[in-house]
């Protein structure tokens, strides 16, 4: 075993438990070297070795690339599955970010319980990542670069090649005469990472030959600092986060030192499957935390709506546009609402004697709740009932003819009580998110 890649992987595998391994295989030189080397090592194959290829559909040759990956894996006797994805190029975060989001979502969804997903990221990738993070204003967590091992879905994400260079992987490919995909986008210097790789880093290396070593040393120090801070902000998170609502106390979050406040916010968002904000968006969140009573600021960025309401931070994916004239006839079956919520009955088998018309709020609606001496405006009920503003637009209103008999499962009129008593069930509203 005289090839550096094989020796390195053999040593790495000896330090981890015998788990099934899955390679994110693009067909490029890095993942090709990783997959081929693993297939030569009994320790990698013992628990099961397979590959996943993500087809982004962004290039006319992507079907041909997928076919290449299937043939390469078949020659290695490694199972391979192609995952077609749709890249949301209109999300506002840029093509690179959108493709990465689609790729990781597809890979995570396919990962099996206890399986480790291996990526071909290497030493040079780490340098590029740290510089990109620096240019985006990241703190110690971001400047620490990519972690070798972290949780991912039901398993773990492992980058076993971070100590090896791109040159060493290319030498392995050349020595073993491996066929690889040449994606032309890798040479497109309009993309930020390619600009660093092909133009900025070569200039840095001419003036500072030890730049790579210095950058990686700084990254290791930042990662150690981030780990030390993590203990503190996780403790702070436990006292500021409400598991029942998923919200954060705005004042207590804002009172934290910035070194704790920013990673805590990112952690909270990531646990909810949402991307972190930019520096400018963070400052906007901090400013809006001081909004006057009665205001409900909302800060948006691609993939996120962050609301500040009742002194707390609430985050969710953007809600789809809702047509106010939407309506549907309903007899108690589960009904999908326009924003992704669901209306049903507490007894899944129950049905109403006559259909009710489900509508959305248009303004000015009023209802007399059973047992209440007064007819109430929905606006007042929503405020008293602490219904978040972003849920009110798609709150289902149930009408018998032209009479409003129920506001979701929150307020029901005397006539509504009689209708639901006949069905021996009550309405149940599950808001989106």
Mean pLDDT calculated for residue range 91-103: 78
Sheet architecture: strand order including 80-84: 80-84, 49-55, 21-24, 116-118, 155-158, 149-152
In whole angstroms, what is the distance from residue 297 CA to residue 333 CA? 36
What contacts 52, CB < 8 A, 6 or more positions away? Answer: 22, 23, 24, 25, 80, 81, 83, 106, 107, 110, 117
Alpha carbons 102 and 122: distance in angstroms, whole number: 22
Q: What is the pTM of this model?
A: 0.72
Residue 302 DSSP code: T
Alpha helices in 289-339 (DSSP H): none
Q: Checking DSSP bridges between strand 49-55 and strand 21-24, what pairing results, if any? A: parallel
Count the alpha carbons within 13 Å of 428 in the hemisphere toward its beta carbon. 10
Q: pLDDT at position 37, please?
A: 97
Residue 422: band (very low, low, confident or very high) from pLDDT cuts 50, 70, 90: confident
Q: What is the pLDDT of residues 335-345, one digit of tens each?
A: 999 888 899 99
Residue 289 burial (C-beta neighbours within 10 Å; 0-12, 13-18, 19+): middle
Helix (H, G, I), strand (E, B) or coil at 369: strand
The Cα 78–Cα 91 span in angstroms is 35
The pLDDT value given to residue 90: 66
Both structure tokens of 419? 């209708």
Distance, in Å, from the CA atom of 247 to the CA atom of 310, rounded to the nearest integer, reads 10
- Using CA atoms, how far apart are residues 322 and 390, in angstroms rounded to an integer? 11
Residue 2: is its pLDDT beyond 60? no
Q: Tell me the H-state helices in 136-278.
A: 140-143, 166-175, 192-195, 201-207, 211-240, 250-254, 258-271
The pLDDT of residue 226: 93
Residue range 242-280, pLDDT digits in tens = 998 999 999 999 999 999 999 999 999 988 888 889 888
What does the domain layout of the chain look like in residue ranges?
A: 4-213, 243-316, 327-430
Average of per-residue pLDDT values in the chain: 91
Report the percent of the chain where pLDDT is more than 90: 66
Note the pLDDT tens digit of each residue in 125-151.
999 999 999 998 888 989 999 999 999
Q: pLDDT band at residue 239, thresholds of 50, 70 and 90?
A: very high
- Residues in Cβ contact with 168 at an 8 Å cutoff, skipping those fewer than 6 apart: 4, 5, 122
Domain 243-316 CATH assignment equals 1.20.59.20:
yes
pLDDT-derived band at 392 (thresholds 50, 70, 90) equals confident
pLDDT higher than threshold 90 for residue 228: yes
d(CA 329, CA 359): 9
pLDDT over threshold 70, residue 1: no
Q: Please list, residue by residue across 96-130, b when 16 or more beta carbons sit within 10 angstroms of its beta carbon and e when fewer do.
A: ebbbebbbbebbeebbeeebbbbbbbbbbbbbbbb
- The total of other beta-carbon atoms located within 10 Å of residue 169's CB is 25
Contact assessment for residue 415 and residue 335, using Cβ atoms and an 8 Å cutoff: no
End-to-end C-alpha distance for the chain, whole angstroms: 52
Q: Is the pLDDT of residue 222 over 80?
A: yes
Nearest to 109 by CA among 40, 24, 26, 10: 24
**Residue 367 DSSP SS3:** strand
Instruction: Report residue 94's pLDDT band, with 50, 70 and 90 as the boundaries.
Output: confident
Average pLDDT over residues 362-377: 89
- Identify the three-state secondary structure at position 377: strand
pLDDT tens digits for range 30-63? 999 999 999 999 999 998 999 999 999 888 899 9
CB atoms within 10 A of CB 46: 13
Per this entry, what is the length of the chain?
433
pLDDT of residue 187: 79
**Domain 4-213 is in which class?**
alpha beta
Alpha helices, DSSP H, located in 333-385: 378-384
User: Are 165 and 124 contacting, i.e. CB atoms less than 8 angstroms apart?
Assistant: yes
* Letter string b/e over residues 251-263, b meaning 16 or more CB atoms within 10 A of that residue's CB: eebeebeebbbbb
């Amino acid at each position: 075993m005289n090839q550096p890649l094989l020796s390195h992987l053999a040593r790495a595998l000896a330090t981890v438990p015998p788990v099934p391994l899955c390679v994110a295989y693009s067909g490029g030189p890095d993942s090709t070297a990783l997959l081929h080397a693993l297939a030569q090592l009994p320790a990698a194959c013992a628990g099961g070795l397979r590959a996943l290829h993500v087809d982004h559909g962004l290039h006319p040759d992507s079907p041909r690339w997928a076919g290449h990956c299937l043939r390469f894996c078949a020659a290695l006797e490694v199972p391979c599955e192609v995952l077609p994805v749709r890249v949301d190029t209109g999300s506002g975060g840029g093509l690179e970010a959108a493709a990465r989001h689609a790729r990781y979502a597809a890979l995570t969804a396919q990962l099996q319980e206890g399986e480790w997903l291996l990526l071909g990221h290497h030493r040079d990738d780490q340098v590029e990542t740290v510089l990109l993070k620096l240019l985006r204003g990241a703190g110690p967590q971001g400047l620490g670069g990519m972690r070798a091992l972290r949780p991912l879905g039901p398993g773990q994400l492992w980058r076993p090649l971070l100590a090896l260079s791109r040159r060493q992987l290319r030498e392995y490919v050349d020595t073993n005469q491996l066929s690889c995909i040449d994606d032309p986008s890798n040479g497109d210097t309009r993309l930020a990472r390619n600009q660093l790789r092909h133009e900025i880093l070569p200039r840095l290396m001419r003036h500072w030959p030890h730049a790579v070593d210095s950058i990686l040393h700084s990254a290791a120090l930042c990662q150690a600092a981030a780990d030390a801070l993590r203990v503190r902000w996780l403790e702070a998170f436990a006292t500021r986060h409400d598991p029942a609502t998923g919200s954060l106390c705005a004042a207590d979050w804002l009172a934290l030192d910035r070194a704790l406040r920013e990673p805590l916010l990112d952690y909270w968002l990531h646990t909810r499957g949402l991307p972190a904000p930019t520096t400018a968006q963070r400052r906007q969140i901090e400013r809006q935390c001081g909004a006057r009573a009665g205001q409900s600021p909302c800060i948006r960025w691609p993939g996120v709506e962050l609301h500040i309401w009742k002194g707390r931070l609430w985050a969710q994916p953007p809600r789809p546009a809702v047509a106010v004239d939407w309506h549907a006839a309903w007899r108690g079956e589960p009904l999908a609402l326009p924003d992704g919520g669901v209306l049903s009955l507490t007894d899944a088998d129950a049905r109403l004697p006559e259909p009710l018309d489900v509508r959305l709020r248009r303004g000015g609606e009023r209802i007399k709740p059973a047992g209440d001496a007064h007819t109430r405006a929905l606006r007042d009920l929503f405020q008293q009932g602490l219904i978040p503003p972003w849920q009110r637009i798609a709150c289902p209103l149930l009408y018998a003819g032209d009479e409003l008999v129920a506001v979701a499962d929150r307020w029901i009129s005397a006539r509504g009580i009689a209708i639901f008593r006949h069905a021996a069930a009550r309405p149940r509203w599950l808001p989106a998110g």
